[in-house]
């Protein structure tokens, strides 16, 4: 199968990741932080080693501020619902995923005020100004996706982060489409909260999210057993235990640790250049193919991640994806859980066919895909 659905999850995992997950299941089926016996202690140390790797990878000082969640959506909800209350004012981008839009919609129904800053395609400075115009003295939180999961366009998070820092407003970034693909330094980008989907650009297993919380989160989304202060009915205040009730996903954490090693060994820049060169090759040939509708300019380094949406005249996005699937080519069709982005593109009724590349895709796969599209 030719797997081009890497924006949903990376379809090929490095052998090192598979080996790490297997080792966790075979040798570390214990509960870290809950037992004093050697294997539990050893497992706890390996989990903490992964926290340190994550903190270093994203420019955060304290590994204790690396929190493991069920997925990136849970990480985003932890910040949004842990900080915002009815009556608060929140600003988010006009390209947000439902993992942000739906929690905000619920807060709106409870009395919060939400404004969506218009993303100006191809003009990061204008996009930053859109945020700046909406920020008020009583703004409680600013949220921005790092890159659209529909268009692949990268948002000017450094510019937005600086605006927030100057006004002492917490800044939350959804890095589901960029972690492991673009370099991210939380401090230089003025990011207070970073939410990561490790199963995408970091090639970890599904079922794990990461929240790096440099700022404070007043309330918890989940309470329960943490292995610490068990005599108290109060949720612990120390990080990361405050936000990690229940057993963490040890196999996925081991896989994340190996995934970070894989990305660092290959070089995040090397992987990105491979993906973007291949994406530009596909884009140029799709542009010359009669009946193909593209929605973005030619992807540029630093301005896009290797994600592309298109349609084929005379076919719905679902029909096109189904035909590609019959040729063993995996793509995503529809609205990609991001109807706001599709409203901006004018594709909310039709959706699009989306492809996203990884380190493991090849020119040969691209040529096969292009041949099938041309025949369609």
Tokens 């009730």: give the residue. Answer: 245
Q: So what's the pLDDT on residue 51?
A: 98
Tokens at residue 23, please?
Answer: 């080792």
Asked if pLDDT for residue 91 goes beyond 80, the answer is yes
Residues 6+ apart with CB under 8 A from 74: 209, 221
Answer for the pair 375, 291: CB distance below 8 angstroms, yes or no: no
Residue 91 dihedral angles phi and psi, to the nearest 5°: -120, 135
Q: What is the mean pLDDT of residues 121-149?
A: 97
pTM of the model: 0.97
Q: What is the pLDDT of residues 18-37, one digit of tens each?
A: 999 999 999 999 988 777 89
Q: So what's the pLDDT on residue 230?
A: 85
Q: So what's the pLDDT on residue 347?
A: 96
Mean pLDDT rounded to a whole number for the chain: 96
Q: What is the pLDDT of residues 307-333, one digit of tens each?
A: 999 999 999 999 999 999 999 999 999
Q: What is the pLDDT of residues 164-190, one digit of tens each?
A: 999 999 999 999 999 999 999 999 999
Tokens at residue 27, please?
Answer: 């040798």
Q: So what's the pLDDT on residue 36?
A: 83
Q: So what's the pLDDT on residue 137?
A: 94
Kindly indicate the confidence band of residue 69, based on its pLDDT and cuts at 50, 70 and 90. very high
Q: What is the mean pLDDT of residues 55-83?
A: 97
Partners of residue 278 on adjacent β-strands: none
Domains and CATH numbers, the chain: 16-265 (3.40.640.10), 267-375 (3.90.1150.10)
Asked if pLDDT for residue 229 goes beyond 80, the answer is no
Q: What is the pLDDT of residues 232-291, one digit of tens each?
A: 899 999 999 999 999 999 999 999 999 999 999 999 999 999 999 999 999 999 999 999
Q: What is the mean pLDDT of residues 131-149?
A: 98
Q: What is the mean pLDDT of residues 201-210?
A: 98
Integer Cα distance of 76 and 165 in angstroms: 20
Cis, bond preceding 151 (omega within 30 deg of 0): no
Q: What is the mean pLDDT of residues 111-132?
A: 97
């Amino acid at each position: 199968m030719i797997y081009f659905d890497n924006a949903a999850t990376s379809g090929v995992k490095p052998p090192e990741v598979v080996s790490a997950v297997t080792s966790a299941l075979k040798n570390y089926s214990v509960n870290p932080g809950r037992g004093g016996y050697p294997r539990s202690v050893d497992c706890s140390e390996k989990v903490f080693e992964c926290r340190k790797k994550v903190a270093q990878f994203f420019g955060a000082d304290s590994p204790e501020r690396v929190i493991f969640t069920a997925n990136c959506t849970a990480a985003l909800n932890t910040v949004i619902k842990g900080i915002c209350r009815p009556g608060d004012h929140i600003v988010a981008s006009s390209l947000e995923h439902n993992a942000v839009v739906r929690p905000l919609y619920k807060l709106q129904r409870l009395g919060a005020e939400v404004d969506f800053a218009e993303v100006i395609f191809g003009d990061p400075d204008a996009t930053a100004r859109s945020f700046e115009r909406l920020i008020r003295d009583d703004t409680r939180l600013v949220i921005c996706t790092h890159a659209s999961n529909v268009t692949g366009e990268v948002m000017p998070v450094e510019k937005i982060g600086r605006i927030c820092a100057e006004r002492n407003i917490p800044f939350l970034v959804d890095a589901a489409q960029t972690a492991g693909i673009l370099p991210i330094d939380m401090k230089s980008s003025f990011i207070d909260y970073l939410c990561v989907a490790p199963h995408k650009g970091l090639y970890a297993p599904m079922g794990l999210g990461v929240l790096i919380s440099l700022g404070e989160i007043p309330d918890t989304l989940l309470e329960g057993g943490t292995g610490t202060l068990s005599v108290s009915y109060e949720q612990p205040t120390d990080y990361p235990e405050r936000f990690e009730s229940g057993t963490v996903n040890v196999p996925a954490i081991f896989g994340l640790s190996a995934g970070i090693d894989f990305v660092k060994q290959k070089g995040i820049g090397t992987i990105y250049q491979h993906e973007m060169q291949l994406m530009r090759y596909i884009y140029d040939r799709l542009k010359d193919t009669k009946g193909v509708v593209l929605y973005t300019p030619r992807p540029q380094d630093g301005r896009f991640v290797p994600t592309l949406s298109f349609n084929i005249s005379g076919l719905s996005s679902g029909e096109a994806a189904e035909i590609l699937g019959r040729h063993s080519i995996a793509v995503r069709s529809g609205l990609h859980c991001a109807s706001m982005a599709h409203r901006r593109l004018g594709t909310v009724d039709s959706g699009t066919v989306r492809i996203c590349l990884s380190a493991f895709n090849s020119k040969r796969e691209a040529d096969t895909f292009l041949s099938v599209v041309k025949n369609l």
